[in-house]
Structure 1
Amino acid sequence: MSDLITLTLPDGSQREVARGTTGADVAASIGPGLAKAALAAKLDGELVDLSRPIEADASLALVTARDEADALELVRHDFAHVLAEAVQQLFPGTQITFGPATDDGFYYDFAPAPGRGPFTEDDLPAIEEAMRAIIRADKPLRREVWPRAQLISRWKQQGENFKAEWAAELPGDEDLTVYWSGEDWLDMCRGPHLPSTGKLDPQAFKLTRVSGAYWRGDQKNAMLSRVYGTAWLNKKQLDAHLMRLEEAAKRDHRKLGREMDLFHLQEEAHGSVFWHPRGFVIYRALEAYMRRRLDLGGYDEVKTPQIMDARQWEQSGHWGKYRENMFVIPDEVPNTEDEGPVVSNDAQWMALKPMNCPGHVLIFRQGIKSYRDLPLRFAEMGCCHRNEPHGALHGIMRVRQFTQDDGHIFCREDQIVAEVQMFCDLLDSVYEDLGFERYSIKLALRPEKRFGSDEMWDQAESELRNAVAAAGRATEEFGWEELPGEGAFYAPKLEFHLTDAIGRTWQCGTIQSDRVLPERLDATYVGEDGNRHRPVMLHRAILGTYERFIGILIEHHAGWFPTWLAPVQAVVATIVSDADAYAGDVAAALKAAGVRVETDLRNEKINLKVREHSLQKAPYMLVVGRREAEEGTVALRNLKGGEQKVMPLAEAIALIKADALPPDLKP
């Protein structure tokens, strides 16, 4: 065996180096600047420590802060370990468990020392200071592989019962690795890590909150204290993130929903929304808009039952794959994939529908369908129920009762690409109308547990890829990405992720190419050859659910809806009581023009009225006094922009009416 190996660098150049050379050695050989900037290495695409010896020919890339995705994952992982070390320094006897990186930071779960009680947010400042001390100490981070028995013994000696339990359960053929922080603290971890704690910016993190968490997510296990933090590459990034969080708090749909009197939630109907009159105005306006768009898109609207026989859900496959999320009547029913629904002589098991698709197949099956009938596009504003865990509920964003802008397209295989393209064009137009400028597209591929053959999945995934490419959207501009293992159990899917006004992403739209459900529910059409064929079923939605999408709209627009969606589009406010009668006439004229209007005749100063109606996010205020009453004018104020202009009443009404038209109805 040669003592030399060949490393291929990202620019295509090759270096012949001694076997056992590390990424750090290569960085140093290129130059001192890179040696200082390097954080980790990528060997044949795998992220590894800079200190890992390279034993065979490989492609090598050195990771620096410029490689932001990899760099953030590294630093967040390291911040989690520094957090654990700091907590054990401050609170001896604390046991450590797991500490992963998250989308914007990290967390670590701890078992506080006996008698201490759970951690609280009052503990966070001291922990932050201890973390900064560890970072400033620039402690080297060193990887070691330990024999299983030795590591378990070490954990037990230190009283780390959770780590010992986990080490004992890891696969027998897996190397058990630990990382030392300096010479006095270690944790079990697969890695990789930065070369030392000093590579972290001590001003680029903040501990944010504390919560309870069960060991391994099981409520039967011990309750732990989870400490969350956010972490970035530098203080500038942290400050920008904290500003986004502050802005997000101002836009929180639950807060604005209360202030604007749109909806409420309460214990008596966990996970269901009580829409108030103003909130339901938004709902109805959005629903009416979607119906018009679907009508023009060639959809036929249908309505399917809320409750169906459990045998139907067994046949569709939902019983085995989705039973725990379904509301069943009565509810003493087997809950395993092997056991089907039980039917007695007295009553049959029923289930509230968690989705609309089986009902649409049953409509399709009524009567004989020909290849000439396809595509058939069914749409339903379908109310569904899913038994989401209590802890997963979140305002109107995650609920148990919701209404989907659902649709299913039954088509031939040769029609799939064109149908997906048409859907993408419709979705693009709807998102633009609703004020969203950007979205990305992801292809969620087959999960491990699924129905259907590999050939079916190969074909379905290929069709979705081809459709997006034909639509010109499989590009960097649309953030095209493939997500292995994230498809539904019956079909791969295209996901459409909206970007809102403050840069957050929301997965809303979806289209799935399904051959499984038509087969399981025996949907067929008569082909040109006179034989029976299975249609392909495209499951599609643009908004997702009305509840969640309205929550997104509230936060995206910060409550300042486009005028056509605003619950109250105009307020007529008086300066003096002498103008009350004229204010009534102005309001009547606006209402006759189709504008949603209120009057404010209170004996209050106009500045107070402006402030209060601004909080209610009314787009327009028409201020009237004696002069306006005499001249037939109004002082029209744009409450969002603060501009005011005196104009004839007819001109003001025309302006507001034009602005209040839904985008699809504008000339």
Structure 2
Amino acid sequence: MSDVRVVISREPDREDRVVTTGTTAAELFQGERAVIAAKVAGELKDLTYVVQDGDEVEPVEITSEDGLNILRHSTAHVMAQAVQEVFPEAKLGIGPPIKDGFYYDFDVEKPFTPEDLKVIEKKMQEIQKRGQRFQRRVVTEDAAREELASEPYKLELIGLKGSASTDDGANVEVGGGELTIYDNLDAKTGELCWKDLCRGPHLPSTRLIPAFKLMRNAAAYWRGSEKNPMLQRIYGTAWPSKDELKAYLDFLEEAEKRDHRKLGSELDLFSIPEEIGSGLAVFHPKGGIIRRAMEDYSRKRHEEADYQFVYSPHATKGTLFEKSGHLDWYADGMYPPMQLDEGVDYYLKPMNCPMHNLIFDARGRSYRELPLRLFEFGTVYRYEKSGVVHGLTRARGFTQDDAHIYCTKEQMADELDSLLTFVLDLLRDYGLNDFYLELSTKDPEKYIGSDEVWEEATETLRKAAEKQGLPLTPDPGGAAFYGPKISVQAKDAIGRTWQMSTIQVDFNLPERFDLEYTAPDGSRQRPVMIHRALFGSIERFFAVLLEHYAGAMPPWLAPVQAVGIPIGDAHIEYLQEFAREAKAKGLRVDVDASNDRMQKKIRNHQKLKTPFMVIVGDEDMAAGTVSFRYRDGSQENGIPRADALAKLVDVVERRVQV
């Protein structure tokens, strides 16, 4: 038997090895229990893959990103098998891995119930314990159609002969150049237990699925299109160990407690009335106070940084977005046009930049005015699909803290450097401190302008990002059609990552709008345009902060910074006087003069997450003092009124959490 030479790649090491012909990846990594697949020339393979002469083979461990995807995709197959064993009439859709889990779509007569999910999960456990083997087969199109004749959705995928996107960006499970079916075989007899059209790879055995749980079910259109049938989707999660599964479920429990939609209702901050429409929120008085405090501080910082405030209307003629190119690229994300002025189309604006260009172009501009920094709290409207609308974090109407900076090419690098520093410092002021940066580059299928312009803009952004000393990750193809982008990714208190500020360099819209300034030599030059949204949207940032702080906002953002709680009615007037003194210093202080007993008042304001409770009884009145009760239940007694007011002012001005 002849030998073959392979290279085993384990970053950063490489090992040359000679093995006999017919050696599989499983034999290559024998004894390494964490290895569940292999990567050959960048392509994932099952461990049954027979290595070829010259292959470079990389082990894929179950804890790696690829390994987790394989684990979760394999678990999705087990779930689909379980569903068809419990509900034989169920027709198969698709079942890809997704972030932290997987799902599978089914066409069934009735929606699944929570009780159904329990039965399915129990059946999955039985299948897992059987140790069924996953086995890959290459099939012809005719053979696939014959084998899957009873699965109409699989037949549709066979017709695609490739991959197609689902509603959440996953790909359908069809091979690129060939069709493959995966069989689930009985571990002892080799008998076929179940099969699915799939490109793989999979775990060698269902026994290698250590821990999983079904989470919920929902309705979903086949392949994400409202024109297609409505299917039933079951979501699940799978992890390399039971401890990791438990940690994830604990994380979800904590995240549920912090859900901004839940907190928004409990704390009376905002609502999304059905009468107004999905994705369109109204802020209640307390939420309005938080939002105003956020905006006021941002406005102050922007004024200090020489931004000039502008305002633009909510609707415009469609010709403006034709000129900018947005109608060519983003029409699907815009509300339908309104037919006004004898057939002229008007659109609710999805972004502010074209209007800011008109402000720049309203009169002649000199190089002495540059950089010109225009800023607007501009409300925009985007027609998001109902399936992706989510509270304040994915809305249809929202207000951007939108800035557009016009500068010379010579000013661009310094402006980006100072701009990124400004953005990060301001986010830190709101209590976010754990960041990394993401560089989104050109989508080869969706861009305007020359490659040279894109390269210059991208490299300038990259250098500005690297100066911050933060991790920089690539996002190939993620840029807008007019220029590359740096986005600030921030982690919250429980480790979730949120995209915050975005900064985009744009050579192309100034060209489309024929923007010019007069240079020192009297020539007319084209400015560089930098797009920048710091919060992204005020609504979304509001939601992120609400979840980051679990509703316990720092005093400078809290709707009520302190509440007076009298031990008895005789102490109400004393506290009201304290509150008047506090309000004169710009503080938000109320007095709870309700008929509730003191302990109930304390419980009520603990639930409302009020930063300070100011408690007063006979001793305090006699001594001219107050007592502070903090959110954690601790208490500080006998504080002179002047000192108490000074402490409240200090905590608010320093923007610290208590």
The whole-number CA distance in structure 2 between the counterparts of 1:4 and 1:623 is 81
The whole-number CA distance in structure 1 between the counterparts of 2:337 and 2:88 is 52
Residue 164 of structure 1 corresponds to which residue in structure 2? 155
Q: 1:265 to 1:662 in 2, by over 3 A?
A: farther
Please identify, of 167-176 and 247-256, the stretch whose mean Cα deviation from structure 2 is larger: 167-176
Q: 1:118 to 1:578 in 2, by over 3 A?
A: closer
Matched-pair contact (CA < 8 Å) for 1:619–1:640? no
User: CA deviation digits over 1:351-374, x for unaligned, max 9?
Assistant: 221111011111111222233432
Question: What amino acid is the match of 2:233?
Answer: R
Matched-pair contact (CA < 8 Å) for 2:510–2:528? yes
Q: 1:6 to 1:243 in 2, by over 3 A?
A: closer
Matched-pair contact (CA < 8 Å) for 1:560–1:640? no
User: CA deviation digits over 1:590-630, x for unaligned, max 9?
Assistant: 11122101111223322111110111111111111222222
User: CA deviation digits over 1:378-436, x for unaligned, max 9?
Assistant: 11111112222233222222222211111111122232222222122112212211111
Please identify, of 399-408 and 641-650, the stretch whose mean Cα deviation from structure 2 is larger: 641-650
Q: Map 1:408-487 onto structure 2 (within 5 A).
A: 408-447=404-443, 448-473=445-470, 478=471, 480-487=472-479
Residue 205 of structure 1 pairs with residue 212 of structure 2: yes
Q: Map 1:533-612 onto structure 2 (within 5 A).
A: 533-612=525-604
The whole-number CA distance in structure 2 between the counterparts of 1:62 and 1:308 is 56
Which of 178, 198, 201 is equivalent to 2:181? Answer: 178
Q: Percent identity?
A: 42
SS of residue in 2 equivalent to 1:537: strand
Which of 304, 310, 314 is equivalent to 2:318? Answer: 310
Q: 1:139 to 1:623 in 2, by over 3 A?
A: same
Residue 13 of structure 1 corresponds to which residue in structure 2? 15
The whole-number CA distance in structure 2 between the counterparts of 1:165 and 1:440 is 42
Give, in angstroms, the shift of residue 452 of structure 1: 2.0
Q: 1:313 to 1:37 in 2, by over 3 A?
A: closer
Residue 337 of structure 1 corresponds to which residue in structure 2? none
Which of 18, 25, 28 is equivalent to 1:26? Answer: 28
User: CA deviation digits over 1:242-271, x for unaligned, max 9?
Assistant: 111111111111121122111111022112
Q: 1:9 to 1:393 in 2, by over 3 A?
A: closer
Q: Map 1:359-378 onto structure 2 (within 5 A).
A: 359-378=355-374
Q: Map 1:279-298 onto structure 2 (within 5 A).
A: 279-298=287-306
SS of residue in 1 equivalent to 2:387: helix
Residue 241 of structure 1 corresponds to which residue in structure 2? 248
TM-score (norm 1): 0.91
Residue 223 of structure 1 pairs with residue 225 of structure 2: no
The whole-number CA distance in structure 2 between the counterparts of 1:167 and 1:135 is 28
The whole-number CA distance in structure 1 between the counterparts of 2:387 and 2:599 is 43
Residue 125 of structure 2 corresponds to which residue in structure 1? 132
User: CA deviation digits over 1:558-595, x for unaligned, max 9?
Assistant: 11111100000011111111122212211111111221
Question: What amino acid is the match of 1:266?
Answer: P
Question: What amino acid is the match of 1:281?
Answer: I
The whole-number CA distance in structure 1 between the counterparts of 2:334 and 2:69 is 36
Q: 1:417 to 1:211 in 2, by over 3 A?
A: same
Q: Map 1:187-206 onto structure 2 (within 5 A).
A: 187-201=196-210, 204-206=211-213
Residue 61 of structure 1 pairs with residue 58 of structure 2: yes
The whole-number CA distance in structure 1 between the counterparts of 2:538 and 2:105 is 36
Residue 643 of structure 1 corresponds to which residue in structure 2? 635
Matched-pair contact (CA < 8 Å) for 1:412–1:536? yes
Which of 29, 41, 46 is equivalent to 1:44? Answer: 41
Q: What RMSD, in angstroms, separates the aligned Cα atoms of the two structures?
A: 2.0
SS of residue in 2 equivalent to 1:488: coil
The whole-number CA distance in structure 2 between the counterparts of 1:58 and 1:298 is 59
Q: 1:391 to 1:6 in 2, by over 3 A?
A: closer
Matched-pair contact (CA < 8 Å) for 1:328–1:349? no
Give, in angstroms, the shift of residue 193 of structure 1: 1.1
The whole-number CA distance in structure 2 between the counterparts of 1:661 and 1:138 is 62
Q: 1:37 to 1:394 in 2, by over 3 A?
A: closer
Matched-pair contact (CA < 8 Å) for 2:5–2:16? no
Give, in angstroms, the shift of residue 647 of structure 1: 1.2
Which of 382, 387, 394 is equivalent to 1:398? Answer: 394
Matched-pair contact (CA < 8 Å) for 2:555–2:655? no
Matched-pair contact (CA < 8 Å) for 1:633–1:647? yes
Uncovered stretches (5+) of structure 2, i.e. residues with no partner = 163-174, 186-191
The whole-number CA distance in structure 1 between the counterparts of 2:53 and 2:477 is 31
The whole-number CA distance in structure 1 between the counterparts of 2:50 and 2:409 is 52
Which of 336, 350, 356 is equivalent to 1:354? Answer: 350
Q: Map 1:643-662 onto structure 2 (within 5 A).
A: 643-661=635-653
Question: What amino acid is the match of 2:5?
Answer: I
The whole-number CA distance in structure 1 between the counterparts of 2:251 and 2:323 is 47
Residue 525 of structure 1 pairs with residue 517 of structure 2: yes
TM-score (norm 2): 0.93
Matched-pair contact (CA < 8 Å) for 1:178–1:190? yes
The whole-number CA distance in structure 2 between the counterparts of 1:104 and 1:236 is 15
The whole-number CA distance in structure 2 between the counterparts of 1:25 and 1:443 is 40
Please identify, of 210-219 and 556-565, the stretch whose mean Cα deviation from structure 2 is larger: 210-219
Question: What amino acid is the match of 1:24?
Answer: A
The whole-number CA distance in structure 2 between the counterparts of 1:89 and 1:533 is 70
Residue 77 of structure 2 corresponds to which residue in structure 1? 81
Give, in angstroms, the shift of residue 512 of structure 1: 0.7
Q: 1:173 to 1:68 in 2, by over 3 A?
A: closer
Matched-pair contact (CA < 8 Å) for 1:260–1:616? yes
